[in-house]
Amino acid sequence: MQIDISRFRDSFFVEAAEHLENMEAALLQLEGEPENTETLNTIFRAAHSIKGASTTFGMDEVGKFTHVLENLLDQLREGVAKASDQLVELMLTSVDVIEGLLAAEKENADPPENVDEVISALNEAFQAATGGQSLDGPSGTICKAVNDPAKPSNVTVYEIQLLPSREFFCFGQDPYLLLRELAEMGHLLDIQADSSALPPLAEMNPEHCYLHWTIKLQTEATEAAIHDVFMFVDEATQWKVSQATASDTPKTSEIDSATETPADADSESHTYQTTPVAESTDDSTRAKPTTSPKSSMRRTISAGENETVRVDRRRLDELINQIGELVIGTSMVEQDLASFGAGRESAAMGQLGKIVRDLQEMSLSLRMVPIAATFQKMARVVRDVSKKLGKEVQFITFGDETELDKTVVDQIGDPLVHMVRNAVDHGVEMPEDRERAGKPTAGRVELRAFQQGGNIYIELQDDGKGLNRKTLLSKAIEKGVIDSAENLSDNEICNLIFAPGFSTAAEVTDVSGRGVGMDVVRRNVEALQGSVSIRSEEGKGSTISVRLPLTLAILDGLLVRLEHEVYIIPLLSVVESIRVSPDQIKRIVGVGEVITLRGEVIPLLRLHQALQRSNGHDNEDGLLVIVEDQGRRMALMVDELLGQQQVVIKNLETNFRKVPGIAGATILGDGRVALIVDIYGVSLMHRQPTNGTPASRESTSLDAINSSTQHAVVESNTDPNSMTAS
């Protein structure tokens, strides 16, 4: 019977990724405490889940690979082998390989190159583990059984009853796979299908499973191992495993009863001993029998506890969008009502408004996820990089449970990897250097997340060598990032590492230092409407601080009027707003207009000139909004301040394209569209008045006229605008 399982594929990939994540986390944990059986079990469970599901979906490569890994894991669980550092390393590599294999399946790409290499390494490790314990009692493993045929074996005949649920097939399960797995464990003596539940043909639902099976299996495996086969069947499916004696009197053990040890193995089955062994000697992928009762792994369903529902991301976004619309719609109604008759409707309207706001808040929280998973990945990065470089690093995280918008969490991963790599590579010194400097040999890298106001801060602190100001400066001058070292504050010097094309590593290593690191970090963080800065003390270490908005969907904005249009300036960038008289605006050739605020010279940008098409407009009011972008201040001249408001951000690229100087749009309470000013983009327009931003290279003649007049104002004093100002 053919079931269309393709629609389950996507959720399989999502689940598999989660399993891999868990596996990786557990492996890292295992490194610290190699004896922890619970951790081992977690790893095993994850591997087994991936194996089972991938086989169901026909991804044999994944299934085969995971099976080999599982074999090794089984040995570890048994306590036959020790989870040495090499083994953990190997298994971590295996996680990468599985990830690669899955990606290959997903995108129809080539599988990773090192698959065979890792498989043979795993097999070797497995052989080493099993070979090394041949005197260790009756652990029924392939090699041992072959090497040591004189040992009494634990072959038992089990009677297994499989009662699949009606919906068995709907869960993507196949009884044949289960039977095959059982057959691999030993020798199938008998299988009987019970078709008595089959309804008349007319009433039969072809997607239901009506058959039951009774299987007699002769195997060395323990009962627990047999239960393991059924580990991932759906909840309604039942199975019973009982030991059958030669006379076929089943000694029933209920599903939920404790696993029996195979101590009371049937000695009569001795005659069968060679059969399964001979069959399986060259079949290294066969399921491993186990002896330890504590390794019995049964699926436990803890219902009710932290139950989750998987929802398509797009649907969620749509819901959040619609609720955003509801908020706007409500305020439109509110305004309409207010214009009809004053105040009378306010009670009901007020309540509605409150419900809608609560609803919006709730909807936004739906997308919040803890940052723990991302931090977890960093643990792996630290481990790999420090091993590669021969450094000792102690990695500590705080605030794993801090919640962030899923979009932010997804996109912060790459920049964090860069940062963490840099910290380990460039920050933390080699052990001997540390010792010379009187520090503990093991470096300390700390990753913290916490919320402060409407922002999330992620801080990465290392106790390494810190930034060398001199090197930074000479490098920056050499690379043409700055012209001279003058006028740079200590803080500004440190933040030079975020400049494009800047890398302080003396030589390019394969860990970091391609000169794309930190400026990419900055770009990515800024794309998330965040900012990044570094504090550093030479010899003591550095702290990189990343500020991120709680959510990307909503922005606190300052509404300003420019001629007839409303623009929104992100409140986060706003420092203050002031009013100046025209004679306070000074003109500096080559820089443009500036104002002096409490001794600080701040460039002035007439926002209407930069943003509006018309520029024949005079600001006599001198209303300025001081904004800050990456530590640089800028004064924006606007016509009027209208107030503060939370706005729902709409992407302009969805239906149009990126607009220089504009970060997005939003819909105001009255249904109008208002544009959100991109401070960074606007400051670029200001700095290069002739070129504009790269995106506007092909801009129209009008644009060119616009910017050239602006330029002309700066260079010569013939423009009427300049007359009023000077």
Judged by the rule CB under 8 A, the positions of this chain that interact with other proteins are 321-322, 324-325, 328, 565, 610-613, 650-652, 654-657, 659-662, 665, 667, 671-675, 692, 695-696, 698-700, 702-703, 706
Strand partners, 535: 543
CB of 710: closest distance to other proteins in angstroms? 12
Q: Compute and round to an integer the Cα radius of gyration of the chain.
A: 34
Q: Measure the CA–CA gap between 259 and 252, rounded to whole angstroms.
A: 12
Length of the chain as a residue count: 726
Q: In this structure, are residues 469 and 490 in contact, taking their beta carbons and an 8 Å threshold?
A: yes
Catalytic residue among 422, 524, 619, 706: 422
The yes-or-no answer on residue 48 being catalytic is: yes
Both tokens assigned to 626: 């001081």
The yes-or-no answer on residue 70 being catalytic is: yes
Phi, psi dihedral angles at 564 (to 5 degrees): -95, 0
CB of 703: closest distance to other proteins in angstroms? 5
CB of 607: closest distance to other proteins in angstroms? 9
Is 50 or 667 the residue whose CB approaches other proteins more closely? Answer: 667
Is 310 or 613 the residue whose CB approaches other proteins more closely? Answer: 613
Both tokens assigned to 565: 């249009």
Is 408 or 675 the residue whose CB approaches other proteins more closely? Answer: 675
CB of 527: closest distance to other proteins in angstroms? 18
CB of 328: closest distance to other proteins in angstroms? 7
Catalytic residue among 70, 159, 184, 223: 70
Q: In this structure, are residues 233 and 172 in contact, taking their beta carbons and an 8 Å threshold?
A: no
Instruction: Name the amino acid, one letter, at 569.
Output: I
CB of 42: closest distance to other proteins in angstroms? 43
Residues near 714 by beta carbon (within 8 Å), at least 6 away in sequence:
587, 589, 590, 591, 592, 593, 689
Instruction: Name the amino acid, one letter, at 722.
Output: S
Catalytic residue among 48, 67, 227, 426: 48
CB of 700: closest distance to other proteins in angstroms? 5
Q: Measure the CA–CA gap between 627 and 638, rounded to whole angstroms.
A: 12
Is 655 or 718 the residue whose CB approaches other proteins more closely? Answer: 655
Both tokens assigned to 656: 């149009």
Q: Measure the CA–CA gap between 616 and 608, rounded to whole angstroms.
A: 10
Question: Residue 522 in 3-state DSSP?
Answer: helix
Alpha helices in 33-141 (DSSP H): 37-56, 60-78, 85-107, 115-131
Q: Measure the CA–CA gap between 177 and 56, rounded to whole angstroms.
A: 8
Q: Which residue has the tokens 């930034």?
A: 467
The yes-or-no answer on residue 154 being catalytic is: no
CB of 327: closest distance to other proteins in angstroms? 10
Q: In this structure, are residues 449 and 398 in contact, taking their beta carbons and an 8 Å threshold?
A: yes
Q: Measure the CA–CA gap between 272 and 275, rounded to whole angstroms.
A: 6
Is 36 or 321 the residue whose CB approaches other proteins more closely? Answer: 321
* Region for 598 from its dihedrals, namely left if φ exceeds 0, alpha if ψ lies in -120 to 50, beta otherwise: left
Is 116 or 670 the residue whose CB approaches other proteins more closely? Answer: 670
Q: Measure the CA–CA gap between 653 and 657, rounded to whole angstroms.
A: 4
Alpha helices in 158-229 (DSSP H): 175-185, 223-229
Spatial CA neighbour of 448 closest among 535, 546, 588, 348: 546
Is 40 or 667 the residue whose CB approaches other proteins more closely? Answer: 667
Is 564 or 598 the residue whose CB approaches other proteins more closely? Answer: 564
Residues belonging to the active site: 48, 70, 422
